[in-house]
Amino acid sequence: MARTGRPPARPLNAPAIVLVRPQLPENIGAAARAMLNCGLTELRLVQPREAWPNERAREVSSGAFEVIDNARVYPSARAATADLTRVYATTARHRQMIKPVETPRAAVASIRADIAAGGRVGILFGPERTGLENDELTLADRLLSVPLNPGFASLNLAQAVLVLGYEWFQGADETPPRRLVLNGTRPAERAELMNFFDHLEAQLVECGFLRIADKRPSMVRNIRNIFLRADLTRQEIRTLHGIVKDLSTLRVKGSKRRPKTEK
């Protein structure tokens, strides 16, 4: 049976996603999946076109059942926002409304501040194709508009939910922008790296690659830079020692077949 009407006015620690008159159950399912991807779980449906609960929406959610199965159905956008203290409405066009328009990134920062102050926040998304009606936009404090290619700005419903959810999740995520996953090994210490350079350069002198003395310092710097840019691990240093050693052996064995001559 569908859960309907006003939910308990409990604290919401993330914004509620309110889909107004969604047409396709597939889009509700895809929106639920995108929500859970981003840690959002409170889904509200205003007059969905197809019957609710809906098995097709459930399938397309790819397992986001904690969102789908707890969704509540409301008779109007006004009812669906009754317990909220801050309402955003998503729109691609600004119509005749004089309201603040925020980017998703700015909106999630404001929403976090509202929630930290005890507020309950919801974000309205309109039906596929038509979007929200003006009376529904009037329920909102602020409009939310995604900056996109102005020549092709129409996002699918679930894609619009994802953009908002993605920004929501990033706003609190602490993943370093760039990291190296080391799989149990550790970065090489400078001494290990220098030992490798000594080994490599000794062999390169031996085999004649560094035979021209006045070019040697700059060639050595260039070669070291190749390996320095690679952010080597201890294990990789061992591998490189082995490569140099075995290539040297090959040279000794094969020296009669491929003599190194000075040109």
Chain residues that interact with its own copies, rule: CB under 8 A? 30, 33-34, 36-39, 62-64, 94, 96-103, 105-106, 145-149, 152-156, 158-159, 162-163, 166, 169-170, 173, 175-183, 185, 231, 233, 236
Compute the least distance from the CB of residue 38 to its own copies, in Å: 6
Output 11 or 176, the one with its CB closest to its own copies. Answer: 176
Q: To the nearest whole angstrom, how small is the minimum distance from the Cβ of residue 207 to its own copies?
A: 29
| Bond preceding residue 53 cis, omega within 30 of 0 | yes
- In the bound state with its own copies, the residue whose beta carbon lies nearer, of 34 and 210, is 34
CB–CB of 165/36 below 8 Å?
A: no
Judged by CB, which is closer to its own copies: 63, or 254? 63
Q: In this complex, which beta carbon is closest to its own copies, that of residue 7 or of residue 171?
A: 171
Which of 100/251 has CB closer to its own copies? Answer: 100
Question: What is the spatial distance between Cα 219 and Cα 227, in angstroms, rounded to a whole number?
Answer: 13
Least distance to its own copies, CB of residue 125, Å: 15
Question: What is the Cα–Cα distance from 48 to 254, expressed in whole angstroms?
Answer: 77
User: Which amino acid is residue 154, in one-letter code?
Assistant: S
Query: Tokens 């399938």 belong to which residue?
Result: 59
Residue among 1 and 181 whose Cβ is closer to its own copies: 181
Report in angstroms how near the CB of residue 101 gets to its own copies at its nearest: 5
Quote the least distance from Cβ 93 to its own copies, whole Å.
10
What token pair was written down for 87? 């309402």
Nearer to its own copies, 4 or 103 (CB): 103
Contacting residues for 37 by C-beta, under 8 A, at least 6 apart: 162, 165, 169
Instruction: Give all strands of the β-sheet with 121-125 in edge-to-edge order.
Output: 3-4, 72-74, 43-46, 16-20, 121-125, 86-90, 142-144
Minimal distance, residue 54 CB to its own copies, in Å: 19
Which residues are CB-neighbours of 150 under 8 A, at least 6 positions away? none
Query: In whole angstroms, what is the distance from residue 227 CA to residue 215 CA?
Result: 19
Query: At closest approach, how far in Å is the CB of 209 from its own copies?
Result: 27
Structure tokens at 73: 């159905």
Structure tokens at 68: 């789908």
